[in-house]
A and B are shown apart, each in its own frame.
Chain A
Amino acid sequence: MTEPTASPVTPVVDSRTPDSGLASLATAHRLATKSSLWVALGVFALVIPLSYGAGVIDITTLNQFGRYLCIALVALGLDLIWGYTGILSLCQMMFFTLGGYCMGMHLAMKGPLQGDGIPQALYVVSSQVSGMTLPWFWQPFDSTWFSLAAVVLIPGLFAYLYGWLAFRSRVRGVYFSIITQATTLAATQVFRLNDLQLCGTNGLTNFKTLFGFPLEEASTKVGLYLLSVLALTLGFLACRWLVNSRAGRVLVAIRDSESRLRFAGYQPVAYKTFAFAVAAVLGAVGGMLYTPQNGIITPFKMNPEESIYIVAMVALGGRGTLTGAILGSLIFSFSYSWLSTKFADWWLIILGSLFVFVILVMPDGLVGAWRRLGLWLTARSQPPTPEPTVKEATP
């Protein structure tokens, strides 16, 4: 049994005189932290579209930013399930791809049709030369509303059922991670089959219009970009609301001590399933917006390593903080496109080293490092005061 110990939170006692330079730095740090969200929103919602308007960046770059924002939604979802609830899911990109496929099927149905109303992407890979009819599960995707509902419902319900089965039998920790990885591996292989009539390895492509807007047009691309900004903002706000609610605290409690929570009368299974489904839906919405911006969606997006990239993003940004997830995903996406073209051979080694480095040296990521910098600056710049922390209470 451990002896009662003094509080571990002892204020950093610093005998040096407060440093005014550090103090102003600390203030700057505080200001930066406070304004960061507004600045980020300003940059993505105003500066980038305006600089496109002014001709500083071209439409391709804008389109690329839009896709990064979609990936950030997946990272947000993973942060919810991993950062807050402590469940490392390695299949988030599977939900992204499922959402992307729902949207892609709709886009393909609205694209050029061949033969008996068969979308071109499907027609090309089909082994049936003549007399092919549209498979039954393609038909409803002609409807916009059905497709939009499918984007949310198919991945959401799948995640709900899957999570319920897994969490109910108390599959946890590394076991859950492994099973989700096996699942996404199996899913990618299934989607690669031509027999499934989901266009096999070629994936869904040949998109022409979205809700009647031609995808080729720059204005549609700007619209999709702004939609991505909006989706990410709403996703962020929703997640923030969720983690600040009591339910969010239950999620953290699950991470800390799931069994203890059960003895307090909560059913962790319900919360975990809920969080998993929400994360899946966030990913699926990301996939939905990604597909028209990317012009193609293939089963390779479900490859296990794609989901691991998402984990790397959240780890880099700092798990357990929503800003960290978004920041990490944006930095990762930018450096990915840069490094993987510039150092194609070394990219995997760089990525692996990043993983090891972040986990060994910066376990709470960039946001954690930023926070610690703030604490350090504050502690250094303020005169040492007897901090009102834990007092050894006496009866």
Chain B
Amino acid sequence: MISKPVTAQIQHETLYPADKLDLVQVENVVVQFDGFKALDIHYFGVDRNELRVVIGPNGAGKTTLCDVISGKTRVTSGRVVFDDVDITYRRDTDIAGLGVGRKFQTPTVFESLTVYENMELALPRRWKVWQNLFGTETKEQREHIHHLLERVHLIDVRNLPAKSLSHGQRQWLEISMLMVSKPKLLLVDEPAAGLTDKETALTAELLNELKGSHTIMVIEHDMEFVRQLGSRVTVLCEGKVLADGPLEKVQADAKVIEAYLGRGKERK
């Protein structure tokens, strides 16, 4: 890429109009694991209040991209900007404090806490020790939590420990926790993984509700789910951005088809 700056420039301009006002800007980022380039991105940005879907075959670097933005993985070179703040070398906690919320690919909730307590912990801006020693949540917050739990059908189990939830319920709980924490950016890693079709539809519905008012980045392989979101799609392959645009356009892209089929994988 660096050896061919001209091509790179052309690619850049045709694929991504450089909008420096994007909420997240990932610029010239390279991530190497033991010599293996897991991520090599010239530019990737998510605009404010945009719902962006990132797809790609296994090992394309989707989760690594999430890790880079949320501060879990350090970049080898390059720069990550969030909300006009350079977060390349910030700690994960600080980045979360700036407003990056994340749902992990394998749903991770606090097992011994009840569903309600999980939600309570996710309430925004209550991170200091002393803030948590005294006082409880406001009535408004409580109602908000109740509303969300009702929405994802978890209201009946709100007092059960999270370890007794099913996989789908955990997915929803984690998404709800993300929603209640009101981050500026929601990183949603595979929200439909392991869900039934009906559950997937509800998840899509939830995300669609947030669309327009929240900045969301969704990682997914389930094409049906991606279709339900009906949003701009970025295709990653082998750490690089392969294509970008509406789903139909991306699916028709020869490079994308090759990337999926060339690896011998059957995709819908």
Contact = CB atoms under 8 A, between A and B. Distances in A.
Interface of A: 1-9, 242, 245-247, 249-250, 252-253, 255-257, 259-267, 270-271, 274, 388-395
Given A4-B194, A5-B167, A389 B110 contact: no
B228 interface: no
Given A250-B121, A252-B112, A4 B195 contact: yes
B175 interface: no
B120 A260 contact: no
Given A1-B193, A245-B133, A264-B121, 18 more contacts: A2-B167, A4-B168, A4-B194, A247-B132, A249-B113, A253-B113, A257-B110, A261-B121, A262-B92, A263-B104, A264-B96, A264-B177, A266-B127, A267-B127, A274-B129, A390-B165, A391-B156, A393-B169
B122 A390 contact: no
B4 interface: no
Q: Which of B117, B134, B154 has the most CB of A within 10 A?
A: B117
A7 B164 contact: yes
A7 B168 CA distance: 10
For the complex of A and B, list the 5 residue pairs with the smallest distance between their C-beta atoms, beginning with the closest: A393-B153, A395-B202, A265-B96, A247-B132, A9-B164
Interface of B: 70, 72, 92-93, 96-97, 101-102, 104, 108-113, 117, 120-122, 124, 126-129, 132-134, 136, 152-154, 156-157, 160, 163-169, 177, 181, 193-196, 198-199, 201-202, 205
A137 to B, nearest CB: 31
Nearest to A3: B194
A390 B96 contact: no
Given A7-B164, A245-B134, A247-B132, A390 B120 contact: no
B117 A390 contact: no
A257 B104 CA distance: 12
Contacts of A262: 92-93, 96
Nearest to B128: A270
B109 to A, nearest CB: 8
B197 to A, nearest CB: 10
A266 B165 contact: no
B164 A256 contact: no
Q: Which of B122, B128, B152 has the most CB of A within 10 A?
A: B128
Contacts of A8: 163-164, 166
A260 B194 contact: no
Contact of A389 (B108, B120, B160, B196): B160
Nearest to B162: A256
Contacts of A393: 152-154, 168-169
A27 to B, nearest CB: 23
Contacts of B160: 9, 389-390
Contacts of A5: 166-167
B136 A246 contact: yes
A386 to B, nearest CB: 13
A260 B133 contact: no
